[in-house]
């Protein structure tokens, strides 16, 4: 009898001790973490003069685009080519229907990954939304079913997806093409926040491997691709319990191909593990992702616990804090370089538009040269578009304009392009001139070789603007003599 009583006392003591330890852990996790280093690292207390100079440079960029690049886009229907040029020009491009919104949009940070790995909690932590009415809902079960865009606004409010798509002042109007079912799963949140004045966050539904894509009711992969193409930084988040790679995650990494420089891997909730277990999980994460990321230099991996509460006791707190600050510095670098990146992107876009116009002009000239009084125009042009190498369409552009061969679109794209845009609807470049407005080719070449590099130099005086010699690496080359200008 005494033995039974002693055993019961021992069990009671164990339960009591376990409960006390659990209370200590709960008490530590209820303590909010100090966030002062976030504002300091992201330099959120910048002066209004910097914002004014940024907006002034942005207006100059819009003016250059509308006066020098957009007229050439419209004249040669560059946006029509984009539907067929995915393999030639992967990634972000202008012209989805709201170019002004693209130019003035803030850098986009995209959060991707399996369900309940802490994507929403990380956004709550970065913005200090804990216990606020607009904190993103979090939980152990799949909680985020919408694409949630968190952006700056004068007051805190939520915006339905259908309203976001209808607002021409935003950059989200192209999302209408994914249908009403998707717009019902799109949500915008505006709030006055210093960080959101400089960046926009996008939270995405978690990947659930046992769910069929068609059950979502909209083209999930296509929507992800749209956001991936526009993201300046992509956080792919995991936690120690969700390292398996299924079909949906494998598809996601295929969509990320070509964007490796924007990808950052986050191993979240790292304070849930002892140091030795964390090392094993870190190795297992790389083992799972190695077949999916086929690059020489692997993406940066941040190991920490990104949520508002203190780190769990007896964990590598100093390591986690350093990792968090490194991630914040990475984010700040994207914010600081946002205008330079935008100008460089517009310049690269202008080079592509110029190449397209030169190619269409060459097709037009070849068609006119081959036509005779007795020729069938459909058969003549079919021969040209089916075998452009026979008529030196692409080689002539490389030989006479110093265009890089790596910047040329594929030939098949022009078969589809001219299938919906008859050749006789285009004028030659020599006819795209006026006495008052000048020539379209002159304008776009001036933007590429002087205006955009000059704007880049004006916002970063410490670095000289790229001169004409830099065009050799971008496909522009030295400014060619305008063969098309009317005398």
Helical (H) or strand (E) element with 148: strand 147-152
Pairing between strand 300-303 and 157-160? unpaired
Reference 363, options 385, 336, 332, 339; nearest CA is 385
Among 281-290, 293-302, 365-374, the least confident range: 293-302
Neighbour tally for 413: CB within 10 Å: 20
Question: What is the mean predicted confidence (pLDDT) over 29-57?
Answer: 80
Q: Residues 357-384: pLDDT tens digits?
A: 999 999 999 999 999 888 899 999 999 9
**Structure token pair of residue 28:** 């530590």
Exposure letters 30-49 (e unless 16+ CB within 10 A, then b): eeebeeeebeebbeeeeeee
Q: What is the pLDDT of residue 480?
A: 41
What's the rounded Cα separation, in Å, for the pair 279 and 302? 13
What's the rounded Cα separation, in Å, for the pair 472 and 218? 43
Query: How high does pLDDT run on average in the chain?
Result: 82
Question: What is the mean predicted confidence (pLDDT) over 351-357?
Answer: 92
Give the start-to-end residue ranges of the domains of the chain. 44-91+338-458, 107-315
Q: Residues 79-105: pLDDT tens digits?
A: 888 654 433 344 455 555 556 667 888
Q: What is the pLDDT of residue 93?
A: 55
Q: At CB < 8 A and 24+ separation, what contacts does 365-372 make?
A: 365/428, 366/391, 366/393, 367/423
Among 138-142, 404-408, 457-461, the least confident range: 138-142
**Structure token pair of residue 414:** 């022009």
Q: Residues 211-230: pLDDT tens digits?
A: 555 567 889 989 999 999 88
Give the ranges where 411-485 is alpha helix by DSSP (H).
411-420, 440-446, 452-459, 471-474
User: In terms of pTM, does the model score above 0.85?
Assistant: no
Residue 458 reports pLDDT greater than 90: no
What's the rounded Cα separation, in Å, for the pair 255 and 204? 15
Residue 195 reports pLDDT greater than 50: yes
Give the ranges where 371-481 is alpha helix by DSSP (H).
377-386, 393-401, 411-420, 440-446, 452-459, 471-474
Q: What is the CA radius of gyration of the chain?
A: 28
Exposure letters 115-154 (e unless 16+ CB within 10 A, then b): bbbbbbbbbbbbbbbeeeeebbebeeeebbeebbbbbbee
Q: What is the pLDDT of residue 297?
A: 79
**How many angstroms from the chain centroid is the CA of residue 432?**
34
Residue 292 reports pLDDT greater than 70: yes
Neighbour tally for 425: CB within 10 Å: 9
Q: Give the confidence band of 47 by pLDDT, cuts at 50, 70, 90.
A: low
User: Contact 441/435 with Cβ under 8 angstroms?
Assistant: no
Q: What is the pLDDT of residue 157?
A: 93
Question: What is the mean predicted confidence (pLDDT) over 297-309?
Answer: 90
User: Contact 428/361 with Cβ under 8 angstroms?
Assistant: yes
Q: What is the pLDDT of residue 454?
A: 93
The residue ranges of DSSP E strands in 268-354, in sequence order, are 300-303
Q: What is the pLDDT of residue 98?
A: 57
Q: What is the DSSP string of 78-131?
A: HHHHHTT-TTTS-S--S-SS-HHHHHHPPPEEEEE-BTTSSHHHHHHHHHT-TT
- Whether 44-91+338-458 and 107-315 share one fold: the answer is no
What's the rounded Cα separation, in Å, for the pair 370 and 321? 70
**How open is the CA angle 317-320-323, to the nearest 5 degrees?**
150
Residues in the chain, total: 487
Residue 65 reports pLDDT greater than 70: yes
User: Contact 269/240 with Cβ under 8 angstroms?
Assistant: yes
Q: What is the DSSP string of 326-347?
A: HHHHHHHHHHHTHHHHHHHHHH
Reference 57, options 458, 466, 463; nearest CA is 458
How far, CA to CA in Å, does 132 sit from each of 119, 124, 136, 186? 17, 9, 9, 21
Across-strand partners of 190?
Answer: 151, 157
How far, CA to CA in Å, does 374 sit from each of 131, 277, 386, 422? 79, 80, 21, 20
**How open is the CA angle 244-247-251, to the nearest 5 degrees?**
110
**How many angstroms from the chain centroid is the CA of residue 459?**
23
Q: What is the pLDDT of residue 10?
A: 36
Q: Per CATH, which fold does 107-315 belong to?
A: Rossmann fold (3.40.50)
**Structure token pair of residue 156:** 């805190």
Question: What is the mean predicted confidence (pLDDT) over 306-328?
Answer: 92
Domain 44-91+338-458 part of CATH 1.10.268.20: yes
Residue 271 reports pLDDT greater than 70: yes
Residue 275 reports pLDDT greater than 90: no
Q: Residues 400-457: pLDDT tens digits?
A: 666 778 888 888 889 889 989 999 999 999 999 988 889 999 999 999 999 999 998 8
């Amino acid at each position: 009898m005494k033995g039974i009583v002693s055993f019961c006392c021992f069990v009671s003591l164990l339960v009591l001790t376990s409960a006390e330890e659990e209370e200590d852990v709960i008490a530590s996790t209820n303590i909010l973490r100090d966030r002062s280093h976030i504002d300091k690292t992201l330099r959120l207390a910048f002066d209004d003069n910097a914002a004014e100079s940024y907006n002034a440079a942005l207006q100059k960029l819009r003016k250059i685009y509308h006066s020098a690049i957009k007229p050439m886009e419209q004249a040669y229907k560059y946006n029509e080519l984009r539907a067929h040029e995915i393999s030639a020009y992967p990634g972000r491009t202008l012209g989805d229907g709201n170019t002004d919104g693209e130019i003035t949009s803030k850098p986009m940070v995209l959060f991707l990954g399996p369900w309940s790995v802490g994507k929403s909690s990380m956004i709550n932590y970065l913005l200090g939304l804990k216990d606020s009415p607009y904190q993103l809902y979090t939980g152990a079960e799949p909680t985020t079913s919408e694409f949630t865009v968190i952006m700056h606004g004068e007051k805190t409010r939520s915006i339905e997806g259908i309203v976001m798509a209808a607002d021409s002042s935003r950059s989200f109007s192209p999302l209408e093409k994914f249908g009403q079912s998707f717009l019902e799963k799109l949500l915008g949140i505006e709030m006055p926040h210093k960080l959101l004045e400089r960046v926009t966050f996008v939270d995405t539904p978690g990947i659930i491997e046992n769910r069929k894509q068609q059950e979502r009711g909209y083209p999930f992969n296509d929507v992800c691709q749209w956001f991936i193409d526009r993201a300046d930084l992509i956080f792919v988040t995991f936690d120690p319990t969700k390292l398996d790679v299924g079909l949906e995650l494998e598809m996601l990494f295929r969509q990320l191909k070509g964007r490796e420089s924007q990808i950052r891997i986050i191993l979240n909730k790292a304070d849930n593990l002892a140091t030795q277990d964390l090392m094993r999980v870190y190795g297992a994460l790389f083992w799972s992702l190695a077949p999916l990321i086929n690059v020489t230099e692997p993406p940066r991996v941040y190991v920490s616990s990104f949520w508002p509460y203190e780190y769990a006791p007896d964990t590598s707190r100093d390591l986690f804090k350093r990792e968090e600050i490194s991630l914040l510095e990475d984010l700040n670098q994207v914010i600081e370089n946002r205008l330079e990146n935008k100008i460089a992107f517009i310049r690269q876009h202008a080079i592509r538009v110029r190449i397209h116009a030169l190619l269409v002009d060459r097709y037009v000239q070849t068609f006119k040269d081959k036509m005779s009084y007795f020729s069938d125009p459909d058969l003549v042009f079919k021969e040209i578009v089916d075998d452009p190498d026979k008529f030196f369409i692409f080689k002539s552009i490389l030989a006479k304009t110093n265009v890089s061969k790596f910047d040329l679109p594929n030939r098949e794209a022009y078969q589809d392009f001219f299938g919906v845009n008859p050749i006789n609807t285009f004028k030659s470049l020599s006819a795209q001139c006026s006495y008052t407005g000048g020539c379209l080719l002159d304008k776009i070449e001036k933007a590429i070789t002087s205006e955009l590099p000059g704007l880049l130099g004006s916002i970063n005086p410490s670095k000289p603007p790229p001169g004409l010699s830099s065009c050799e690496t971008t496909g522009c080359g030295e400014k060619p003599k305008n063969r098309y200008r009317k005398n």
